[in-house]
Structure 1
Amino acid sequence: MTPGPGNPWTDPTARRAHLTREARLRALPDLDRDLVRLGAMPDLNRWLEQITATGGCAHPVYLTGHSTTTDRATGDVLRRYSTATEPGGRLAVRCRNRRASRCAPCSREHSGDTFHLVRAGLSGGKGVPESVRTHPRLFVTLTAPSFGPVHRAGTCHPVRRGCCEHGGRRGCGQAHPDGDVVTGQPLCAGCYDYVGHVLWNSAAPALWKAFRDNLYHHLAARAGVGRTAVRSLVRVSAAKVAEYQKRGAVHFHAVIRLDGPDGPTSPPPAWATTDLLLEAVRSAAAAVALAPPDSAAYSDVRLRFGTQLDAHPLTDGDGGRITDEAVAAYVAKYTSKSVETAGAVDRRIDSFAEIRHLKVTSHVRALISTAWRLGGLPELEHLRLRAWAHMLGYRGHCLTKTRAYSTTYGQLRADRADHARTQAGGRELFADRDDGTVTEAAWRFIGTGHTPAEALIAAGIAEDIATNREIAREELATSSQAARSAVRSPA
């Protein structure tokens, strides 16, 4: 270091000023100190570009590595990329968490993908022919059975004479507003079947599979064809999303479509009508009855769907009660939500002692505790209830679909990556493309998440992106309305 004025190591005056600045920085709160650090970063603009590319992801994943793209035929190097020139020698990518409680930007993108996936299966597009609009289609809601009376929004259960065996009142007699914390809580915790509730949540994916299998059988019975032959005549295509009710029970919203034997490209037989599908759905759901796990904890009843079943036909054109877009948006909304809608937690629980300190209602605490206790039984070990206690026993995916229903999340992400690659000038980072090139890459995970200042800036970026999208959506709606008005009232 060159001696002279201004050098804090050789000039006493400069040293005192330097130490004073360091002291001031140490005295700042953590957020302010981090903002100063971030503002002084020489490659701040590139870091902002990375975070903007992730949509303001709340918990980005940081990678380090490199990629080289060569021409498959000649071996010439076309592109090279390395994180060595990036801020901190790393690249930020999305966490892709679907839960809005964990990462709002990524959950918004996941909901958007779900909307396009579901709508393509209803209206066509994304590789699905538009002729699916003419196929029999239903929007179905399958609910859980009752495990005991719970408080409900609006007019609650009327008060009846006498008390339950635990000394509680039979009924409530009050009117609960929407959002009331008591909604979904049992009238009497002692009467509530917590074991049955947890085991039903755990069995919900198996119930859905049994329903789909039953549906083929009931279609065959109504059409007068054999159970084996029906699968060569018609194909049931479906997509379903799981939602938690306030009481913590899972129920399913599903789109069900009848195709021909070759899937959406073939029409169903003439006997496969919407009315026949509606009747088959109702009878197939009512017929589902699974034996509970072989355990002394619960062995006297069969696991079934609830008696409340909603099924609405989806007809082509304006005559339908609900539109394809409305159904797709409704299903997409629930992919960003999870067990937190029932007041539970969105992270796994590591010990029984942790349950006592959770900030949840007594009802949710009882469900989590029940799942933990049942998970300790050797005969229920295969259910992995302790690992899924935070989900109140439910072990299934948020959204599932049959193979032929429509496109996939992977294809939607690939299409978006192709678009982003085109916008960025064709830079390839992670994978080969079917364009005569080969990409060799090596990547390593080095961290995740933001510092306090980075989180603040990322949240602002995410908010700006969301605002811009809302403005663009409103402008599109306004222009569409103006176009429709011009068509109705030509000059």
Structure 2
Amino acid sequence: MTPLDLPDDMRAALQRASMPDFSRWLRMVYATGGCAQPVRLHGERVTVDAGTGEVLDIYRTADEPTGFLLTACGNRRASRCPACSATYRDDTYHLIISGLRGGKGVPEEVSAHPRVFATFTAPSFGSVHAHRERDGKTQPCRPRRDQPLCRHGRPEGCGLRHERDDAHVGQPLCADCYDYRSAVLWNAHAGELWRRFTQALPAALARLVGMRRAALRRLLRISYAKVAEYQSRGLVHFHAVIRLDGPDGPADRPPPWATVALLDHAIRDAARSVAVPMPGGSGADLMWGDQLDVRPVYVSTELDGVSDQRVAAYVAKYATKGAESAGTVDRPIKNASDIELLPVTDHARRMIYICFALSRLPQYREIPLRQWAHMLGYRGHFSTKSRHYSIRLGDLRRTRAEYRAEQARLLLGLPAPDPDKALTLAEWSYAGSGHRHGEAFWAEVARNRIVTARRIARQRSD
């Protein structure tokens, strides 16, 4: 096979490898972890002596063979960048597990504090196809003996056995019966519903123990970490680790009467008590669904609950997923004319259309439904935590950056700058993003090699 016989993408990759700056460019790609859409920067970084103003070090992208510097995009979505999402997933895992076991500045005694893993779901807006299991066997979706029909003449039941990856799972039995308007508005207000829940939980605890909230705050602190996940029906639900601490946070043990059972009871009471009024007063209040699952979190898997490691892994897994897991796209939709051509499910397409349609009505103009149509209306943060739950993601990133900078100095044999004497000044400008012609192939090769090397290192450490 000659070079002319190769596919266009492979021929472009070979051409890129023959360029003089390829070696330096590839080293920068490895430094980003094989990022799928790195950001190119122009500029310079100058380190000077804070006392004398003497220039100690200077770096200019103009001196690079490539003419620019690459930095990772940092996108959390696996569908957008597998490399950066893997880093985000690992950071989220350490954030969650440190709040359950200790570490990363959190005392190990926190593992003895009462904590639960709670799942908050949306209510039903219409019957959808579902995967159901019993004793490891797939069960009929919605069996109905009398086979009734809805008012549109469609079956209200389904006797098929859907596997988890069946395309019908999450799709309405009758799209005309499904309440798309309320479903989209529920997604749009799910973040507000969670905020009201976090405000109602201390009041529910205080009521159960028979004291005022002010008195409770002097004895108890509630900490949490939460992540949003899309169900196949296109609605978000929240997974949350909720923990009881003493008034000073994770280093302070809560009172003896603060138990898992008390926390469970308070969560259920608070979830039932909160609601968000339907915008424009055009329907019933938006509330949590009936399926609220609360499980104790234990270090040991032999106890009647869920293990802390499993919880952290589960939360970290869904921190890298977005609405694309519900059959929609992972980028904003600019024009309504583009909706028909989107590679999405019919159910997701209807929800996207509803977002655009509602955004034109006066009572919904304050809600950015059109902006978040690709998210099926949801506009909240995917992962949040209370201040005292554990370490922050920013702290993890800063520690990693400092470690990499130290490794680079050791590799080049450079002395470490004295932070009391050295001052670093930098000026960067955006020069573009993504890979250019023939570069995506080599970035994917780099990412696969990094993943393989890390897997081998973990196996050796085990």
> By the TM > 0.5 criterion, same fold?
yes
Which residue, out of 336, 342, 354, partners 1:370? Answer: 354
Distance in structure 1 (CA, Å) of the matches to 2:64 and 2:244: 51
The equivalent of 1:473 in structure 2 is 458
Residues 183 and 235, structure 2, Cα contact 8 Å, conserved in 1:
yes
Q: Which residue of 2 aligns with 1:144?
A: 122
1:249 aligns with 2:202: no
Match in the other structure for 1:414: 398
1:453 counterpart SS class: coil
Match of 1:287 in 2: 273
Are residue 90 (structure 1) and residue 90 (structure 2) matched? no
Q: Establish whether residue 219 from structure 1 lines up as the match of residue 202 from structure 2.
A: no
Tell me how far apart the structure 1 counterparts of residues 154 and 81 of structure 2 sit (CA, whole Å). 42
What TM-score do the two structures reach when normalised by structure 1?
A: 0.87
Q: Which residue of 1 aligns with 2:245?
A: 259
Distance in 2 separating the partners of 1:369 and 1:148: 18
Task: Report SS of the residue matched to 2:279.
Answer: coil
Match of 2:323 among 339, 343, 353: 339
Which digits, 9 at most, give the CA deviation of each residue in 1:341-374, with x for residues without a partner?
Answer: 1000111111111111112221111111111111
- Cα 1:234–1:201 shift into 2, 3 Å: same
User: Counterpart of 2:239 in 1: which secondary structure?
Assistant: strand
Instruction: Name 1:304's counterpart in structure 2.
Output: 287
* CA displacement at 1:470 relative to structure 2: 1.6
Q: Tell me the equivalent position of 1:441.
A: 426
Shift of 1:230: 1.8
Amino acid across the alignment from 1:381: R
State whether residues 34 and 451 of structure 1, in contact with CA within 8 Å, keep that contact through their aligned partners in structure 2: no
The residue number in structure 2 matching 1:274 is: 260
Q: 1:239 maps to which residue? A: 225
Q: C-alpha deviations, 1:53-98, integer Å up to 9, x for none?
A: 0011000000011111122234333221111221331000000111
CA gap 1:27/1:435 in 2 versus in 1, 3 angstroms:
farther
* Equivalent residue, structure 2, for 1:132: 110
Q: Check conservation: 2:16, 2:437, Cα contact below 8 A.
A: no
- For the pair shown, the structure with the greater C-alpha radius of gyration is 1
Q: Which runs of 5+ in 1 are unaligned?
A: 1-23, 478-491
Q: State how far apart, in whole Å, the 1-side matches of 2:91 and 2:209 are.
A: 36
**What SS is found at the alignment partner of 1:64?**
strand
Alignment of structure 1 residues 94-109 onto 2, 5 Å: 94-109=72-87
Aligned length: 447
Distance in 1, matches of 2:46 and 2:355, equals 49
CA 64–433 in structure 1, closer or farther in 2 if over 3 Å, else same: farther
- Deviation, 1:318, is 5.2
**Corresponding letter in the other structure for 1:311:** V
Once the two structures are overlaid, the 10-residue window that deviates more, 201-210 or 283-292, is 283-292
Q: Quick one: percent identity of the two aligned structures?
A: 49
Instruction: Answer with 300-309 or 152-161: which moved more.
Output: 152-161
- After alignment, is 73-82 or 339-348 more displaced? 73-82
Task: Provide closer, same or farther for how the CA distance between residues 132 and 366 of structure 1 changes in structure 2, counting only shifts above 3 A.
Answer: same
Residue aligning to 1:486: none
2:55 counterpart of 1:77: yes
Per the alignment, do residues 231 and 186 of structure 1 end up closer, same or farther by CA in structure 2, a change over 3 Å counting? Answer: same
Deviation, 1:204, is: 0.4
- State the alpha-carbon separation in 2 of the partners of residues 464 and 27 from structure 1: 27
Compared CA separation, residues 232 and 377, structure 1 to 2 (3 A): farther
Counterpart residue identity of residue 98, structure 1 = R
1:118-147 residue CA offsets vs partner (Å, 9 max, x unmatched): 111111111111111111111111111101
Distance between the aligned counterparts of 1:158 and 1:403, measured in 2?
A: 47
Determine helix, strand or coil for the equivalent of 2:40: strand
Query: What does residue 12 of structure 2 align with?
Result: 34
SS of 1:128 mapped into structure 2: coil
Bigger RCO of structures 1 and 2 (CA < 8 A, at least 6 apart): 2
Measure, in 1, the Cα distance between the counterparts of 2:56 and 2:101. 41
Helix, strand or coil at the partner of 1:163: coil
Distance 2:107 2:43 in 1: 41
2:25, 2:66 within 8 Å by CA — same for their partners in 1?
no
In the alignment, is residue 389 of structure 1 matched against residue 379 of structure 2?
Answer: no
Which residue of 1 is the match for residue 386 of structure 2? Answer: 402
Question: Aligned to 1:255, what secondary structure does the other structure show?
Answer: strand
Q: Deviations over 1:439-471 (max 9, x none)?
A: 111111101111242100000110111111122
CA root-mean-square deviation: 1.9
How far apart, CA to CA, are the structure 2 residues paired with 1:311 and 1:454? Answer: 47
Shift of residue 378, structure 1, vs aligned partner: 2.1
Q: Are the counterparts in 2 of residues 138 and 312 from structure 1 also a CA contact under 8 Å?
A: yes
Match of 2:312 in 1: 328
Return the alpha-carbon distance in structure 2 between the equivalents of residues 434 and 224 of structure 1: 53
Offset of residue 28 of structure 1: 7.9
CA contact (8 A) 2:13 2:441 kept: no
> Following the alignment from structure 2 to structure 1, what is the Cα–Cα distance between the partners of residues 10 and 252?
63
Question: Secondary structure in 1 aligned to 2:171?
Answer: coil
Please name the residue that 2:446 is paired with.
461
